[in-house]
C-alpha cells in the first residue's frame, strides 16, 4: 500500500495518511505537512490536526477542490525530510524517582540501566512532541532508544497526579490531569500543558523538541510555566 494516501472522512473532511503505523519518518511527515498547511492555508480548509502518522483536513467548501490541492501540495516536497514550521525547543524541570517517580527503578531495570543512569540518559536525550491526545494539551513524546521499548503494565495504576511523567514503548507521556495509566511513572513536573485561561491554552505543539532537566525535588521547581524555558529552533 502506497503512502501518502488521501482518504475521505465523511463529506466534509480528508485524512492524509503517511503510514498505517507509527514510525519516526511518518510522524515527521505528518507534522511537517500539517505545519505547512497552517503556514500557507488552502482555500476552503477550515481546520487541520495531526496525529501520530496522519493529518485531518476539515473542509468548509468544495471537498473535491481541496483534495486536488492536497495532492499538489503533497507532491511539492519529501515531507519526511521537510523542515517543521514554527518548531520550538523546551527545557522542562523534572523531579525523578521517590514520590515523584515511584516506578523509576522498575523502568530503569527493564531498560538495563540503574536509576541514576536512566535519569542521566533522559536528561541528555531530547524528544519530540509526536502528537497531542487523551486529554487537552497532553503530549506523547519520543523516541527513546530501542531498549526503552518497555511494555505497558499488565494492570492499570489507578491514578497518577497532574504533572506525572510516564514511560512505555520508547515514549513519554506528560500528564496534565489526574488519570489512570498503564505506563510507569518515573518523574513529575509542574509544567502546565493546558490552561484555558492562557492564550494559547495548549503549551506544546507537535514537532516541538523537549528536554527534561533533573531537579532534586518538586519544591525546587518554581516560576512561570513550571520553570520551563522555551526558544525557537532556527
Q: How far is it between the farthest Cα atoms of the chain? A: 57
Q: CA 175, CA 190: separation in Å to the nearest integer?
A: 10
For the chain, what are the domain ranges? Answer: 5-74, 88-232
- In CATH terms, the fold of domain 5-74 is Gyrase A; domain 2 (3.30.1360)
The 10 Å Cβ neighbour count of residue 114 is 12
The answer to whether the peptide bond before residue 91 is cis (omega within 30 degrees of 0) is no
Starting at the edge strand found earlier in the chain, the sheet holding 45-50 runs: 5-8, 13-17, 54-59, 45-50
pTM across the whole model? 0.94
Q: Which of 170, 145, 160 is nearest to 103 (CA)?
A: 160
- Splitting the chain (234 residues) into consecutive groups of 10 residues, what average pLDDT does each group show? 94 97 97 97 97 98 96 97 96 98 99 99 98 96 97 97 98 98 98 96 98 93 92 92
pLDDT of residue 220: 82
Q: Which CATH superfamily is domain 88-232 in?
A: Cyclophilin-like (2.40.100.10)
CATH fold match for the domains 5-74 and 88-232: no
Angle at CA of residue 163, ends 142 and 108, nearest 5°: 55
pLDDT value of position 30: 99
Amino acid at each position: 500500500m502506497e503512502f501518502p494516501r488521501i482518504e475521505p472522512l465523511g463529506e466534509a473532511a480528508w485524512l492524509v495518511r503517511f503510514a498505517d503505523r507509527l514510525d519516526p519518518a511518518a510522524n515527521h511527515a505528518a507534522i511537517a505537512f500539517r505545519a505547512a498547511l497552517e503556514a500557507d492555508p488552502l482555500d476552503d480548509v477550515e481546520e487541520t490536526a495531526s496525529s501520530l502518522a496522519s493529518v485531518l483536513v476539515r473542509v468548509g467548501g468544495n471537498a473535491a477542490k481541496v483534495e486536488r490541492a492536497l495532492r499538489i501540495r503533497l507532491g511539492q516536497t519529501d515531507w519526511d525530510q521537510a523542515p517543521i514550521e514554527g518548531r520550538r525547543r523546551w527545557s522542562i524541570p523534572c523531579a525523578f524517582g521517590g514520590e515523584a517517580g515511584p516506578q523509576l527503578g522498575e523502568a530503569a531495570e527493564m531498560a538495563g540501566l540503574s536509576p541514576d543512569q536512566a535519569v542521566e540518559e533522559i536528561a541528555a536525550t531530547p524528544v519530540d512532541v509526536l502528537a497531542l491526545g487523551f486529554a487537552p494539551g497532553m503530549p506523547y513524546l519520543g523516541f527513546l532508544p530501542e531498549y526503552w521499548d518497555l511494555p505497558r503494565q499488565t494492570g492499570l495504576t489507578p491514578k497518577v497526579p497532574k504533572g506525572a511523567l510516564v514511560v512505555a514503548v520508547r515514549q513519554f507521556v506528560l500528564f496534565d490531569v489526574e488519570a489512570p495509566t498503564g505506563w510507569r511513572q518515573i518523574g513529575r513536573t509542574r509544567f502546565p500543558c493546558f490552561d484555558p485561561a492562557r492564550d494559547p491554552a495548549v503549551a506544546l505543539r507537535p514537532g516541538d523538541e523537549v528536554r527534561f532537566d533533573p531537579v532534586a525535588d518538586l519544591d525546587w521547581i518554581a516560576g512561570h510555566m513550571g520553570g520551563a524555558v522555551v526558544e525557537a529552533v532556527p
